[in-house]
Structure 1
Amino acid sequence: MSRPSSSQPTEVELQILRVLWEQGPSTARQIHNRLSAERDTNYSTTVKMLSVMLDKKLVKRDDRVRPQVFRVAASRQQTQKSMLKDLIQNAYDGSIGSLVLQALSSEKASREDLAEIRRLLQKLEGGEK
């Protein structure tokens, strides 16, 4: 039985999205050139991945210009929020607390991160200073 397809980006799709978030709208060749600087990949693979990402509505394509230009369908923040919601539901049974506790216990947080977490908690509790 095959696994149901996900609307969430895979690791490779996230790499392509990062290129687009950083560079802005780009041709398949521009995306491929950036990817190939970091990993061994074929141009045809990049084109195929962009096709899959179009089907998943992760990117949009401007067909009015040649070569075609690809752009992200959602901002980095929107994508991260969607992925996080799925992670919370699927891996933590909907428990935000479990996710936060696991994240904080898995790696040492920096002073800056802890200060930002405190600020956010104060804001969420209504005690914003």
Structure 2
Amino acid sequence: MSIPSITELSLLKCLWKQHPLSARAIHQHAEEELHWSFSSTRKTLDRMLEKGMISQHSQHGANVYTAVLEKVETLAAFAHDFGHRVMEMKSPLPVNMFTGSQLIDQRELKELERLLNDWPEEKE
């Protein structure tokens, strides 16, 4: 799985919370976090479509978007990458560091822990 950029993740979080959404609605949800123009949101959505991270369809005459990437799997990839590449840890990040997150619930937290603990070994 390719790991989304930080800005792509911001747009995915909007879609994980509510979907489908129009580009304008996604922009409004992410505007405070990203501080950028609507055209930047559109360009990022186009790039995410090309990468297969999101899907687009027409609803009531407007284009709307839905996340293709699964939330917990994507967050596990981010956490694994951060622990391994940034922090140079060989073992998985402790899942308790995600407790209190407004992005995932208890069921998802357990799934995240399972994914992190079962992550395939890196070949050196």
Tell me the amino acid that sits aligned with residue 48 of structure 1: K
SS of 1:95 mapped into structure 2: coil
Q: Say how many residue pairs are matched.
A: 102
Structure 2 residue corresponding to 1:36, chosen from 28, 31, 34: 31
**Pairwise CA RMSD:** 3.5
Aligned to 1:68: 63
Within 2, Cα distance between the matches of 1:59 and 1:89? 26
Aligned to 1:51: 46
Tell me the amino acid that sits aligned with residue 20 of structure 2: P
> How much does 1:65 deviate?
5.5
Structure 2: runs of 5+ lacking an equivalent: 101-112, 118-124
Say if 1:60 and 1:72, in contact at 8 Å, map to a contact too: yes
Structure 1 residue corresponding to 2:22, chosen from 19, 27, 43: 27
Within 2, Cα distance between the matches of 1:64 and 1:78? 27
Say if 1:35 and 1:41, in contact at 8 Å, map to a contact too: no
> How much does 1:34 deviate?
1.6
SS of 2:12 mapped into structure 1: helix
Structure 1: runs of 5+ lacking an equivalent: 1-5, 111-119, 125-129
Aligned to 1:116: none
SS of 1:7 mapped into structure 2: coil
Say if 2:49 and 2:56, in contact at 8 Å, map to a contact too: yes
User: 19-28 or 83-92, which moves further after superposition?
Assistant: 83-92
Higher RCO (CA < 8 A, seq sep 6+): 2
